[in-house]
Amino acid sequence: MLITNLDRLLHSECGLECGYLLETPQYFNPVDYILRRLSSKHDYIINVEMFLDIVLFVLMTIYCLICVFFSIVKIGINLFSYELHKVKRRETLPQALSITSVLVIFMMFAFSMQVMTIAPLYTMFGDQRVDKKTLEQCTLKNGRSKHDTSEEDQEAWGMSIEPGFGC
């Protein structure tokens, strides 16, 4: 997150006006790189296509859940440094379990919102390419959609879409 936020702060063309949007990142982001490389490589495990980027993403999510549960058990449920409930084996109140489940939901929601900061290129495009021959990766400016509709259909729906290959 530090690498991406620092890159956005230093290299964004329009700054705060566009939300520090980056065309192409200038700094190397290892998590983003690993996820994009794993998204293009897959293996067959018991006749099921297994994408390795999903495996890594599931491992990151499980690690986040373990950290959340460990912190709730270690610290307990507090409100402004006032301890509301202790979470202990066979001593936890039902109210504490309800509050814990809500806290876990909120923390996982926050994690899912931070994925865009952790791996921005992976969450936008994955390993998509603009052209199969040049293998140029998709960015916000060079991305196009492929639409094979006739001109009559486009006029009927009021669409003017440039045909192309890629993102």
Q: pLDDT digit string (tens) for 42-92?
A: 666 666 566 788 888 889 889 988 988 888 888 888 878 787 888 888 888
Domain containing 100: what range?
29-127
**The predicted structure's pLDDT at residue 8:** 86
**The predicted structure's pLDDT at residue 54:** 83
H or E stretch at 79: strand 77-79
Examine the domain organization and report whether 135 and 110 are in the same domain: no
Q: Does residue 162 form part of some domain?
A: yes
Provide the β-strand partners of residue 137.
129
Any residues with CB less than 8 A from the CB of 107 and at least 6 apart, and which? 64, 68
The number of distinct structural domains making up the chain is 2
Q: Per-residue pLDDT for 124 more than 50?
A: yes
- Cα–Cα distance, 24 to 59 (Å, whole number): 27
Mean pLDDT of 18-44: 79
**The predicted structure's pLDDT at residue 73:** 85
Examine the domain organization and report whether 146 and 73 are in the same domain: no
Q: Does residue 11 form part of some domain?
A: no
Q: Does residue 94 form part of some domain?
A: yes
Examine the domain organization and report whether 56 and 133 are in the same domain: no
Provide the β-strand partners of residue 166.
none
User: What is Dmax (Cα atoms) for the chain?
Assistant: 69
Question: Tokens standing for 106?
Answer: 């909120």
Examine the domain organization and report whether 150 and 117 are in the same domain: no
DSSP 3-state of 137: strand
Examine the domain organization and report whether 134 and 116 are in the same domain: no
Q: Per-residue pLDDT for 121 more than 50?
A: yes
